[in-house]
Chain A
């Protein structure tokens, strides 16, 4: 077993263990920190696929921004009655549905052939930058506009209306 495979399995275990923590725990703050662990595990998976720039982006945006925003949302909403919010009577159906979806995905992974190379190769940052800012420059600008519109919408929805009431 090569070293990279060991690193891959550790990262995958962190990602999947954190994900299980998110869906299983009865404490919502633990769920937020499990989400952080899971996202860092995903960043490790990115590193094993030589996507070091995206691993950095993952740590910065998810670890630095998204989990913090979720924790602020938890602070602003009441979480005392979380105990009876965490479960759901439909959980056996949910488990069955997600198990079937997982089975279907794995079956489709093994029944389709993809034209790939034998071992993974790094996508250079140069390549990524050229593709992003030459070929995909217009969608990139539109994505920044979408982000701007979404954040203005957030401010309008949460902030301004509160003052009028």
Chain B
């Protein structure tokens, strides 16, 4: 039988893998993909909690509603971040985040 802990552990593993990608990669596009993985880990957690909520609870669909918002904001964030990466590539001819130090003093 599936338990809530299963969802939580899979979500934790997905989050940790995404965090490793964010910290260890140097390509901006790959960092963005890893951020998407982390957002999906949060979604798995929310869906798991929504499925195991009390049936009498009037706000038990709230977990799924928050997932809808997370997916919306993730799409907006991804579009904006890719636009920034394209501008960056046009101006500096690189997507390596180590070489982007315009704001570093």
Name which residue of chain A comes closest to B44, CB basis: A45
Given A116-B52, A117-B54, CB of A69 within 8 Å of CB of B26: no
Inside 8 A of B74's CB, which chain A residues have their CB? 66
Do A31 and B84 touch across chains, with their CB atoms under 8 A apart? no
User: Which residues of A, 74-132, contact B by the 8 Å Cβ criterion?
Assistant: 74, 76-78, 82, 85-88, 90-91, 93-95, 97-99, 101-102, 105-106, 109-110, 114-117, 119-123, 127-128, 130-132
Do B30 and A86 touch across chains, with their CB atoms under 8 A apart? yes
Inside 8 A of B101's CB, which chain A residues have their CB? none
Inside 8 A of B32's CB, which chain A residues have their CB? 70
* Complex Cα–Cα for A126 and B86 (A): 41
Q: Which residues of A are at the interface with B, using a C-beta cutoff of 8 A?
A: 2, 4-5, 8, 12, 15-16, 19-20, 22-23, 28, 31-32, 35, 38-39, 42, 45-46, 48-51, 53-54, 57-58, 61-62, 65-66, 69-70, 73-74, 76-78, 82, 85-88, 90-91, 93-95, 97-99, 101-102, 105-106, 109-110, 114-117, 119-123, 127-128, 130-132, 135-136, 139-140, 143-144, 146-147, 150-151, 153-154, 157-158, 161-162
Name which residue of chain A comes closest to B78, CB basis: A66
Name which residue of chain A comes closest to B84, CB basis: A157
Having A120-B52, A151-B76, one finds 14 other A-B pairs with CB under 8 Å, namely: A22-B33, A35-B37, A53-B64, A61-B71, A62-B40, A70-B82, A77-B29, A85-B96, A102-B12, A102-B13, A123-B63, A128-B64, A157-B84, A158-B83
